[in-house]
Chains A and B, each alone.
Chain A
Amino acid sequence: MTNAHPRKAPTRRQLLTRIGTLAGSAALYQAMTSMGHAQGTDFTAPPVLSGAKRGTRVLVLGAGLAGMLAAYELRKAGYHVQVLEFQNRAGGRNISLRGGDTVTELGGVTQKVGFASGNYINPGPWRIPYHHQGLLHYCREFGVELEPFVELNHNSWLHSSRAFDGKPVRYREFASDFHGFTAELLGKAINQHKLDDMVSADEHDHIMTAMRRWGSLDSGLNYSKGIISSETRGYEKAQGGGINGAPIPSEPFARKDVMRSGLWTWLAFHERLDMQTTMFQPVGGMDMIGKGFNRQVHDLITLNCKVTAIHQDDRGVTVTYNDMTHGGAVREAQADFCVCTIPLPILSQLDVQVGAPLKAAIMAVPYASSVKLGLEFKRRFWEEDDQIYGGISFTDQPISQISYPSHGYFSRGPAVLLGGYMFGPAAYDFAGMTPQERIEHALAQGEVFHKQYRKEFSNGVSFAWSRVPWTMGCCSMWSEQARKTHYKALCTMDNRIVLAGEHASYVGCWQEGAILSALDAVTQLHKRAQGAS
């Protein structure tokens, strides 16, 4: 069960090692890049930790991905590992909600999820970029089946309340027009010799050809109504068969409306490295990853432990906690070392015995607020009526976006979509509402895209991360100043205690950050343990 898809031969790594040895790291980097590695995050392979001293004990606090991975790698290296978890489940922010689940938030309100069997929403992480190779490595190793997550859908909607009379436009039409008009402007400027001081004669022809094809321009360098532009933006009357099969071209939007709309921001959004395709999701819900990790280390985890203090001295670490399974009885756990993955809004309020630099670092990183809504509808009207299969529609309304399920296409019966996902001011606002108010706002705002919303709505659930008792926030929000002042201290082992989690990474708010930080933490711990007398 530990290796679902074993590599047949590690030849690529051997080759890279050889290149690295022979030619130095610059050549290695170049070779890795040309072979498709060294992009995205810096994961290459799990650390090889060998020769742990027998009987060395490690206490891991938190059974999210960082904690479970630390436990897995440390046990593999020969350490005696124990994991304490606050919740009555492992997985941390890697979570999926299904029918029958309950969500109790700070303030005391409980929602019961009413989804039909087989439907789910991922209130936390929900997509995995192809270059998050650390997380993908362990999905493979732990047998977690992945499927494509559709990030970009040309037939989804873009909406601004201040553009196009407040009506949504298709991503496809807008992208075509934005690229087309941009290409037209640039092409004409070059053709009229207005950029001669910047564009050489040699380059001139290449750019002209590129603009014509990329922007779907006609021979006169115009982006205008016609077959050429409609091949990109779509037709007024689509191509058909038989006598009346001839298509009718569509009319582009007015250039000034396209440029002033601001909707181009969503074109840029999908081009960020973080958001580029291919994206993945686990089959059956994001928590399949947490469950995959849990299969490896479940025997090490004690649930329902509320940590209150973390102390250390020359001999070891002592963690005090309330055993919530037994009436909150106060207990102590001892170990030689500790990997602490407790989210910083919690950890910053506990009695933690670390040096001043780490203490200051723990206090320096607030957590962003974020809210997600899962809405179940009686049928897939976005597919049946609008031909939208996965992907995201964006709006400048507080809900920010609607994301359609990337699985179960064409199936009948109820389906769940992401009815809103926000950070920033809208997240603060939604977090302060009752669950009923959140759903009502999500329905009212979603109607701008889908007039079927009210009629087809079945039930919904909201998840406000700042009201989650075990994180009290969504994820780390590093300011540039805090990064400069505190990042190294946060990540550096403090005698016998080392922190891990997405907050101890440059891939904040992503599961990959938890993976990479856990690997760094166990590597530090192992070195420290080897060096300790």
Chain B
Amino acid sequence: MRKILFLSVLAALPLLATSHPARADSASAVVGEVQPLNTGEDVYRHVCQGCHMPDGKGATGAGAQFPAFAGNAKLQSSAYPVYVIMNGYGGMPWFSGTLKDDQIANVVNYIRTHFGNHYTDAITPADVAAQRPATSPQEQ
């Protein structure tokens, strides 16, 4: 699984091409081994909690915030978090190239059923696919 994941991530990440200016002083032009992202919890732990924190409470910096998930009215519709994960929002990067449909569905379902949230309308990878932009931002 690790190998399959690695290859699929590489193929899906044109932003890791050597010419991408955002990677100017970056460690490398190649993404290495990544953790398995099989469940919503996996995705949350290995991708989201670096900013939104393990308890989903977000954080406050210099007059700006990483939003909390607890009691966040924007999570009422699953389409909103799917959109933000795909396209990014403000300082948050887009993940349309990094995460696959099932991974996005899993993590949206995870967030909407944890951190004090109890939404029952789970979404499927097909729901995510329907929202996927024709081309990811870095490919345009």
- Residues of chain A touching chain B, judged by Cβ–Cβ distance below 8 Å, are 86, 106-107, 125-127, 161-162, 262, 265-266, 268-269, 272, 274, 306-308, 342-346, 348-350, 363, 366-370, 394-401, 421-432, 464, 466-473, 475-482, 484, 506-510, 513
Contacts and interface: CB of A to CB of B under 8 A. Distances in A.
Interface string B9-40: 10001011010011111111111111100000
Given A369-B93, A398-B33, A472-B61, A467 B50 contact: yes
A116 to B, nearest CB: 26
Contact of A162 (B3, B88, B137): B3
B131 interface: no
Q: Which of A86, A363, A370, A479 has the most CB of B within 10 A?
A: A479
Given A395-B32, A509-B23, A428 B47 contact: yes
A395 B31 CA distance: 10
Contacts of B21: 478, 506-509
Given A366-B90, A366-B91, A479-B140, A396 B33 contact: yes
B64 to A, nearest CB: 4
Interface in B41-74: 45-51, 53-54, 59-66
B63 A308 contact: yes
B66 A472 contact: yes
B138 interface: yes
Given A106-B66, A401-B27, A479-B140, A268 B22 contact: no
B50 A369 contact: yes
Interchain residue pairs A-B with the least CB separation, the first 3: A345-B91, A431-B50, A479-B137
Contact of B18 (A106, A272, A423): A272
Nearest to A508: B21
B47 A509 contact: no
Given A425-B98, A432-B54, A370 B24 contact: no
Contacts of B35: 429
Contact of B32 (A396, A468, A482): A396
16 contacts: A161-B33, A266-B28, A268-B18, A269-B18, A306-B63, A307-B62, A366-B88, A369-B50, A396-B32, A397-B32, A398-B32, A400-B32, A431-B50, A470-B61, A506-B21, A508-B24
Contacts of B31: 424-426
Interface of B: 3, 9, 13, 15-16, 18, 21-35, 45-51, 53-54, 59-66, 88-94, 98, 137-140
B51 to A, nearest CB: 5
B60 to A, nearest CB: 8
Nearest to A512: B24
Contacts of A426: 31-34
Contact of B47 (A126, A306, A399, A425): A425
A342 B24 CA distance: 20
Nearest to B136: A479
A469 B64 CA distance: 9
Contacts of A162: 3
Contact of B62 (A125, A272, A306, A368): A306
Contact of A394 (B3, B28, B64, B66): B28
A425 B9 contact: yes
Contact of A509 (B24, B46, B66): B24
Contacts of A473: 91
A345 B72 CA distance: 20
A476 B22 contact: yes
Contacts of B24: 274, 507-510, 513
Given A423-B23, A428-B46, A506-B21, A401 B62 contact: no
A229 to B, nearest CB: 27
